[in-house]
Amino acid sequence: MATQVTAATATNARRGSSFLRIAIALQTLTIFIQAVSAGLLLTSSYGATLHDVGARVMYGASMLYLLAAVLAWKPGGGPARPVGYASGFLVLASVQVVLGIAHVPSVHLPLGVLMFGLSMLVLARR
């Protein structure tokens, strides 16, 4: 009986870990796409629309990352540290959205670069 419980816990931990890895990869990809769409924002007429839609997708990816971290931690039996990382990314994404709406590129752009770098770092560590 104990062996079955241990095997089920290990399976849940692996499943939660792979969902977490996918969520981090999706977040990193959406932040990269935001950088590309920021360049298009400066050079084309459709860049603003693409950057606006991308911001919503990136914010959703950050929320998905937090959900995946919580699911990997609580029912999956994984560590709690990714929940802190995901919460931090959601806070950074919220600040990024506010700065973008307020048109403060002097902080918005470096924060985007920082977010991409941190997201790549977390992805590489997974």
- CA-to-CA distance for 14 and 11, rounded, in angstroms? 5
pLDDT digit string (tens) for 32-81? 999 999 999 889 999 999 999 999 999 999 999 999 999 999 887 888 99
- CA-to-CA distance for 112 and 118, rounded, in angstroms? 10
3-state helix, strand, coil in the chain (%, to 5): 90, 0, 10
Residue with tokens 């959601």: 90
In the 8-state DSSP scheme, what is residue 70? H
Give the confidence band of 27 by pLDDT, cuts at 50, 70, 90: very high
Question: Any idea of the CA torsion for 80, 57, 48, 95, to the nearest 10 degrees?
Answer: -30
Residue with tokens 């919460």: 87
pTM of the model: 0.84
